[in-house]
Amino acid sequence: MEGLQGAPLTVLFASDGGNAENLSKRLANRGKARGLKTMVMAMDEYPIEDLANEQNVVFISATAGQGEFPQNGRNFWEAMKNSVDIDLASVKFSVFALGDSHYWPRKQDKHYYNKPGKDLFARLTTLGGETLVEIGLGDDQDPDGYQTGYLEWEPKLWDALGVGNVEGLPEEPAPITNEDIKIQSNFLRGTIVEGLQDTSTGALSAADQQLTKFHGTYMQDDRDLRDERKAQGLEPAYSFMIRCRLPGGVATPKQWEQMDDISTELGNETMKLTTRQTFQFHGVVKGKLKPAMQAINKALMTTIAACGDVNRNVMCSSLPEQSKLHADARDAAQKISDHLLPATTAYHEIWLKEDDEKAVQVAGDAVQDFEPLYGPVYLPRKFKITIAVPPHNDTDVYAHDIGLIAIRDEKGDLAGWNVLAGGGMGATHNMKKTYPQIGRMFGYCDNKDVHIVCEKIMLVQRDFGDRSNRKHARLKYTIDDMGLDVFIGKVEELWGKKFEAPKPFEFKSNVDTFGWLKDEKGLNHFTMFIENGRIEDTADFPMKTGLRAIAKAHKGEFRLTGNQHLILSNVSDAELPKMKELLKQYKLDNTNFSALRLSSSACVAFPTCGLAMAESERYLPELITKLEGVIEENGLRQDSIVMRMTGCPNGCARPWLAEVAFVGKAFGAYNMYLGGGYHGQRLNKLYRSSIKEEEILSIMKPLLKRYALERNEGERFGDFVIRSGVIVATKEGRDFHDNTAEVEEDE
């Protein structure tokens, strides 16, 4: 040990999601504790001409896309791969690679598993490097994920460096978890104020990035610009997404104008109508974040609890043809939303007070916040509630933590609710312990009790949800682990009442009804098609300008739908000609699209979503265009088929309930799922893995033709593919991974 005191160890990483980077930093710290002189950095930051002068180097790389290096290691690898004059004869090295052996299930794709690490190890050997330890392979499929392989590899490294038996090593602090961040945040304050004032970076600290979600904003960066900015020596183009809290998705014309102003003056000049029935802004830079929050507040909206481990925006059916029922259902959504709102004053203090006002809450002051429902650590994970009014399931009532199905009395008025709980869309590719799930029926409750029932379900989740593993923390897993009857019993115990037997109901669709409808009061409503919810002006379609002009003239309200479309609501007969003329002037009256396009939905994905593995919003319209020929040829133009696409498996566009879904796996590659229920009542199942456009089209075209020729009268596409044996029906989330159409091939 004496002779090796201070021996150098350089640790270089290539990391997308942070695991390889965190491992590298921990390894360097452990090396330092063992007396080594350590240095750690991203591969692309390291000057490759220095490599031949190193003594001991360790490379840790994740696997991106189709066996590619993560973004911050690609330039390094290109230089290594193409170099002809690097001599590593005096360099000792090892490599640890992180990957998933099941991510690419086909035999011809198996070589993608840990490909960057394997390629780098082979290249270092070719260039004359001496192996310290054979390559270590971390596999997400192992019992402890990549840690299983890592725990075997790291001790061998220390032995090879002669520091394997060092005594008196300091105790390592446990990794900081989201639960730690929440409890240390002083009711969601953290150091957000200080971070906003720091002009040296466009980013916030990692902990504050978690906390700002509770305030309704996520930090993102423009992934289209990453390589260019890195080449210029600049940090990523950081900006923030802001999501409003808008129970029931109803806005006044004045609010529409105000949202339009915010997107133009403080965002990227577009708005997104989300699958959670609210407004979302992108491209808000840090310096404009507080002005944007204040502008939203001035519009009598808020963003608090639009994201984070709390109850989020409460959705409600849009119901253009039944205005009284819609008003009653929306009142329930508002009541639930208000009742479950976090009580912390941090939001007002951080965003709405002017900088020269004295903050009432400062660390150490006597005033203490109190969260009567949530407590200081809030919920284990996000919590989502939605309302559907039969026959319309336009909010995907089965997909949420709580789904409320409206039940009417003999007069047709709202009487109460059938309560579903334990739905949820998030999953992780190839991790079979994670799965989407549909809500389970709890029973019926009266309308006057609905906010209390929601509270009690949320409190049982607060107390029994898994706080140790965020991938297992949603309500769906709590119910599956405890058992439905046990969970219902705990809710009824807190509530002090029992659920009644569920009342009969019937859903007939979960898509929007486009065009003009008249309600029972004689008012008119126009549902317009907003493809994937994106409000923007283009050279040939001035949509954003047109909607602003309509808002200036409109005397009713706007309703955002859960399918990302927009309803011009409560138009009187006297105002109808003027509204029709404006819609026509700005080409917003066009609903003459194929039913496939009208029934489609996509999440944002690239360029702003940090989780995206593939395109979604920018690609789904193109894919549908390529399918519309076969749709027309086979007489299916008017036949609604629910098709959804997401850039990752977290499920923002609720793909797992679609009749056809494409979920991003890598850039340009998707998993294809079939067999979801047209009414949103049944999960789909994996049909093909990791397929690109050519294969998607070669599957879909004959399948659509077969559907046109062989379907029964009134049979929906999702039902047809099950009846005809193309796919096996998924009964509920726990059999989502069973009997898939594509079985993994052995090597």
Q: Which of 597, 652, 682, 716 is catalytic?
A: 652
Q: Which of 312, 474, 665, 688 is catalytic?
A: 312
Can 244 be counted among the known catalytic residues? no
- Other beta carbons within 10 angstroms of residue 425's beta carbon come to 26
Q: Which residues in 295-324 are b (16+ Cβ under 10 Å) and which e?
A: bbbebebbbbbbbbbbbbbbbbbbbbebbe
Q: Which of 34, 74, 243, 381 is catalytic?
A: 243
Cα(556)–Cα(530) distance, integer angstroms: 19
Amino acid at 529: F
DSSP 101-167: TTSS-SGGGGGGTTHHHHHHHHHHHHTTPEESSPPEEEETTSTTTHHHHHHHHHHHHHHHTT-TT--
Can 648 be counted among the known catalytic residues? yes
Amino acid at 705: K
Tokens coding 33 = 């504790």
Cα(689)–Cα(693) distance, integer angstroms: 12
Q: Which of 384, 474, 685, 688 is catalytic?
A: 384
Please give the C-alpha separations between residue 462 and each of 54, 311, 371, 373, 457, in angstroms, as whole numbers. Answer: 51, 11, 13, 9, 9
CA neighbor of 400 nearest in space, from 333, 446, 344, 338: 333
Please say whether the beta carbons of 380 and 461 come within 8 A. yes
Can you state the angle between helices 475-482 and 450-464, rounded to 10 degrees?
Answer: 80
Q: Which of 118, 245, 609, 685 is catalytic?
A: 609
Amino acid at 234: L
Residues 6+ apart with CB under 8 A from 477: 465, 466
Please say whether the beta carbons of 271 and 535 come within 8 A. yes
Can 454 be counted among the known catalytic residues? no
Q: Which residues in 346-379 are b (16+ Cβ under 10 Å) and which e?
A: bbebbbeeeeeeeeebeeeeeeebeeebbeebbb
Please give the C-alpha separations between residue 729 and each of 421, 473, 532, 696, in angstroms, as whole numbers. Answer: 21, 26, 28, 21
Can you state the angle between helices 115-126 and 74-82, rounded to 10 degrees?
Answer: 30
Can 609 be counted among the known catalytic residues? yes
**Beta-ladder partners of 378:** none
Cα(406)–Cα(419) distance, integer angstroms: 9
Q: Which of 476, 648, 688, 716 is catalytic?
A: 648
Can 711 be counted among the known catalytic residues? no
CA neighbor of 315 nearest in space, from 422, 395, 251: 395
Q: Which of 30, 603, 682, 685 is catalytic?
A: 603
Q: Which of 382, 456, 467, 597 is catalytic?
A: 382
Q: Which residues in 588-619 are b (16+ Cβ under 10 Å) and which e?
A: bbebebbbbbbbbbbbbbbbbbebbbbbbbeb
Cα(268)–Cα(604) distance, integer angstroms: 14
Can 597 be counted among the known catalytic residues? no
Cα(461)–Cα(457) distance, integer angstroms: 6
Max CA pair span of the chain: 93
**Beta-ladder partners of 402:** 385, 421
Q: Go through the chain and tell me how many residues it has.
A: 747
The answer to whether the bond into 607 is cis (omega within 30° of 0) is yes
CA neighbor of 501 nearest in space, from 401, 437, 416: 416
CA neighbor of 674 nearest in space, from 640, 603, 725, 732: 725
Catalytic residues: 243, 312, 382, 384, 603, 609, 648, 652
